[in-house]
Chains A and B, each alone.
Chain A
């Protein structure tokens, strides 16, 4: 993966697999305008990033209403609305997950997009969506850090920092936080030894 960055600090993530990549658009902060010529992977990623962002914004709004409608007054007067809100929150989660699963199984994007989604999701989990905490933690713990795709992904640091940020801010006592941190630490230490050995060989 590569990051395209302009002078005004706008950025876009690109796959540089194709030999000659061509991009047309107005501004990197306007993903609707970005079209890659002859690059299914990059166009898919832009589409997923755009739709995930729309879904997440909508989900935040529905969760706000869900909390508001948990008051006894609404339970009594608007039970159908409460049910609709919960259904839509669930539908959005399914749509996001399906979009990631539908990426071609043999593509780099099939591996990369869920990782990138986790990276961008973790701060939001702490701020607005604490119900996601167990899911984000489980997803991190299931990651195979020895996967060669990590080498050029640029995701390692953000994934690890994001995970520790989650643990530190999940509102549990420190001893519990340390215990949670230790669960994946031996594997991460082994991974760093693996990296050091690669560096040594080079």
Chain B
């Protein structure tokens, strides 16, 4: 039962994390890499990274 609870919490956390996403267009950054960094107190974590296409479209999740 305890293991099931832990698994459910882990799964729901993972789903919640996946639900957050960012997409968009930044025309003048076309072709560049782009990253999203999160924080936990003093620590930084790269949450996602990608490359903008030739028109500046990107998607991070």
Contact = CB atoms under 8 A, between A and B. Distances in A.
Contact of B29 (A1, A7, A156, A157): A7
Interface residues of B, number: 25
B26 to A, nearest CB: 6
Contacts of A151: 39-41
B37 A7 contact: no
A20 interface: yes
Interface in A1-15: 1-8, 10, 14
B22 A16 contact: yes
B45 to A, nearest CB: 10
Interface residues of A, number: 31
A150 B41 contact: yes
Contact of B39 (A4, A20, A153): A153
A70 to B, nearest CB: 44
A77 interface: no
A24 B29 contact: no
A151 B21 CA distance: 20
6 contacts: A3-B36, A4-B36, A6-B52, A23-B23, A23-B24, A27-B27
Interface of A: 1-8, 10, 14, 16, 18-28, 30, 150-154, 156-157, 195
Given A5-B34, A6-B34, 11 more contacts: A2-B37, A4-B22, A5-B37, A7-B29, A16-B36, A19-B19, A151-B41, A152-B38, A152-B40, A156-B42, A157-B42
